Amino acid sequence: MRRGVVLRSAWKMGRGYFFSESKKEAWLLLLIVISLNLFLVYITVELNIWQGNFYQVLQLKDHRGFLEAIAIYAGLAIILIVVKGAQTYFRLLLQINWRRWLTKEYLRRWLDRKSYYRLQFVHKDYADNPDQRISEDVDLFVSLTLRLSLDCLHDMITVISFVVILWNLSGLLVVAIFGYTFMIQGYMVWAAFIYAIFGTYFTVKFGKPLIQLDYDKQKYEADFRYSLIRVREYSESIALYGGELAEEKNCLAHFSYLVRNFRQIIQVRKQLTWLTTAYAHIAVVFAVAAASPRYFAGKIQLGQLFQITDAFYHVQNGLSFIIDSFTKVAHWRAVVNRLNGFLVSMEELDIKMISSSRGECKIGSDIHLSQVSIYKPDKIVLIKGLKLHLPKSKSLIVTGASGCGKSTLVKTLAGLWKNYDGNVSIPNPRESLFVPQKPYMPIDTLRNALFYPDIKRKITDEEIGSLLEKCCLPSFKNRLNEFGDWGKILSLGEQQRIAFVRILIHQPKWLFLDEATSALDEVNQEIMYGLVKKFLPDTAIISVGHRQSIMRYHQLCLNIEKDTSWSLKAVKI
Ligand X SMILES: Nc1ncnc2c1ncn2[C@@H]1O[C@H](COP(=O)(O)OP(=O)(O)OP(=O)(O)O)[C@@H](O)[C@H]1O
Q: For binding to ligand X (CB under 6 A), which residues are involved?
A: 376-377, 382, 400, 402-408
CB 166 within 8 A of CB 192: yes
Chain centroid to Cα 419, Å, comes to 28
Contacts of residue 549, Cβ cutoff 8 Å, sequence gap at least 6: 522, 525, 526
- The DSSP secondary-structure symbol of 572 reads P
Q: Report the 10 Å Cβ neighbour count for 333.
A: 22
Q: DSSP H helical segments within 60-186, as ranges?
A: 63-111, 115-118, 124-127, 130-132, 138-170
- The DSSP secondary-structure symbol of 359 reads S
Beta bridge partners of 389: 368
- Report the nearest approach of ligand X to the CB of residue 473 (Å): 26
CA distances from 218 to 5, 56, 110, 333, 501 (A): 20, 53, 19, 12, 43
Burial (CB < 10 A; 0-12, 13-18, 19+), residue 513, is buried
The two beta strands, 360-363 and 420-426, are parallel
d(CA 367, CA 381): 21
d(CA 170, CA 183): 12
- Report the nearest approach of ligand X to the CB of residue 419 (Å): 9
- Phi first, then psi, for residue 253 (nearest 5°) are -65, -45
Beta strand residue intervals within 242-347, DSSP E = none
- The DSSP secondary-structure symbol of 435 reads E
Chain centroid to Cα 489, Å, comes to 31
Amino acid at 184: I
Amino acid at 315: V
Q: Report the 10 Å Cβ neighbour count for 129.
A: 19
Amino acid at 482: E
d(CA 319, CA 562): 70
d(CA 552, CA 389): 20
Buried b (16+ CB within 10 A) or exposed e, 69-102: beebeeeeeeebeebeeebeebbeebbebbbebb
Burial (CB < 10 A; 0-12, 13-18, 19+), residue 184, is middle
Q: Which of 386, 391, 412 is nearest to 558 (CA)?
A: 386
Q: Which of 365, 408, 403 is nearest to 386 (CA)?
A: 408
